[in-house]
């Protein structure tokens, strides 16, 4: 009995153990790796990816996926940057960038939720559409620092209390918001129900189409916010600023234990997956690994994440099945049913 529960615990919390082990390994190899300053740097590098990964987790839990978030981030950055360059207003530029993301997300959501098209195919196409749109609007060029208003440039270096970068504050807020919505709202429960069994969710009166549509709009909004924050941090608007973020977000979500088939996931797991991914990247930089090797490892990590996702779900299902059989046997033997099994 305890063996089965231990398997379930290990399957659900393996990423936390892996994160601790990874930090320990890099700390041994490079004694100056585990420092407060380096930790702050890792969180800063994780911020924009986290803004994309948390909404991505909701989408995957609902049984869909958005592969276009990286291109949406790029398109929003260029639209916002171009608007700032022409108007001189950071406020208008940021609003235009965020609206661009919401429109892109709404288009994805409409085609997938209301037209019934496959989310993988639609968002894979949108990946090219919005990536090409960003390059077209920028004519393949970066909007330089000198063309962006000073107010926007200040945002990129702003620190709350003079210590914590605004990007890390944004990351903390999206994590708290995601945790609260998933665990303490009707909408969060409906997201898991939709991913677990879409037909059953409809029979329960859950508005599947509307909820998925809203998730895609939110995904587009936060992808755009990530693009704008990246531009502010880099002090320029680049049409390729979001390239690769979609695969990194997918890797983080799957590493965090969100089931690719939907219905299962925790925000705490996504956070652990995010930290594992960024600690791995930072450790490789400390070890002076080749950038090409880092790219290979990112792809390998995604493959491992998918394999782990499949294995974890099998372990959990088989362990719960065995626990159920033992409970039934205890009941038949007069041992008090489930309560006897718990003992």
User: Per mean pLDDT, which range of 20-29, 116-125, 290-299, 330-339 is the poorest?
Assistant: 330-339
User: Per mean pLDDT, which range of 102-106, 115-119, 239-243, 316-320 is the poorest?
Assistant: 316-320
User: Per mean pLDDT, which range of 17-31, 70-84, 98-112, 264-278 is the poorest?
Assistant: 17-31
Confidence band of 330 (pLDDT split at 50, 70, 90): low
Residue 312 has what pLDDT?
Answer: 60
**Count of domains in the chain?**
1
Confidence band of 341 (pLDDT split at 50, 70, 90): very low
In DSSP notation, 91-126 reads: HHHHHHHHHHHHHHHHHHHIIIIIS---HHHHHHHH
Cα separation, 164 vs 158, whole angstroms: 8
CATH number (domain holding residue 114): 1.10.3470
Give the Cα-Cα-Cα angle 88, 90, 91 (nearest 5 degrees). Answer: 120
Residue 339 has what pLDDT?
Answer: 42
Residue 237 CA neighbour count, 13 Å, CB half = 32
Cα separation, 194 vs 152, whole angstroms: 40
**Mind listing the pLDDT tens digit for each residue in 192-207?**
999 989 999 999 999 9
In DSSP notation, 49-94 reads: HHHHHHHHHHHHHTT---S-HHHHHHHHHHHHHHHHHHH--HHHHH
The conformation of residue 33, written as its DSSP 8-state character, comes to S
Region for 337 from its dihedrals, namely left if φ exceeds 0, alpha if ψ lies in -120 to 50, beta otherwise: left
- 319 or 75, higher pLDDT: 75
Q: Name the residue range of residue 128's domain.
A: 2-342
Answer whether residue 261 shows pLDDT above 90.
no
102 contact partners, CB below 8 Å, separation of at least 6: 217, 220, 221, 224
């Amino acid at each position: 009995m305890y063996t089965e529960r231990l398997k379930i615990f290990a399957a659900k919390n393996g990423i936390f153990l892996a994160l601790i082990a990874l930090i320990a390994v890099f700390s041994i190899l490079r004694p100056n790796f585990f420092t407060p300053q380096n930790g702050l740097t890792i969180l800063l590098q994780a911020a924009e990816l986290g803004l994309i990964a948390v909404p991505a987790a909701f989408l995957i839990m609902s049984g869909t996926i958005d592969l276009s978030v990286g291109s949406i981030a790029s398109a929003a950055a260029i639209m916002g940057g171009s608007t700032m360059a022409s108007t001189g207003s950071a406020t208008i530029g940021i609003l235009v960038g965020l609206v661009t993301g919401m429109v892109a997300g709404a288009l994805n959501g409409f085609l997938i939720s209301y037209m019934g098209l496959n989310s993988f195919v639609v968002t894979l196409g949108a990946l090219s559409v919005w990536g090409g749109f960003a390059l077209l609007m920028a004519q393949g060029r970066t909007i330089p620092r000198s063309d962006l208003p000073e107010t926007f440039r200040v945002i990129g270096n702003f620190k709350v209390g003079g210590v914590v970068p605004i990007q890390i504050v944004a990351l903390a807020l999206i994590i708290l918001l995601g945790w609260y919505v998933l665990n303490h709202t009707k909408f969060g429960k409906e997201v898991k129900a939709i991913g677990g069994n879409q037909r059953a969710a409809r029979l329960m009166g859950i508005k599947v189409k509307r909820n998925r549509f809203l998730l895609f709009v939110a995904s587009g909004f936060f992808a755009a916010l990530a693009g704008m924050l990246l531009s502010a941090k880099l002090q320029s608007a680049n049409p390729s600023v979001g390239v690769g973020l979609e695969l990194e977000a997918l890797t983080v979500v799957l590493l965090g234990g969100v089931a690719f088939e939907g219905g299962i996931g925790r925000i705490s797991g996504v956070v652990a997956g995010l930290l594992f991914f960024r600690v791995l990247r930072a450790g490789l930089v400390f070890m002076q690994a080749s950038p090409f090797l880092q790219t290979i490892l990112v792809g390998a990590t995604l493959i491992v994440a998918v394999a782990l996702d499949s294995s974890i779900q099998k372990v959990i299902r088989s362990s719960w099945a065995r626990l159920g059989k033992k409970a039934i046997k205890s009941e038949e033997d007069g041992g008090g049913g489930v309560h006897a099994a718990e003992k």
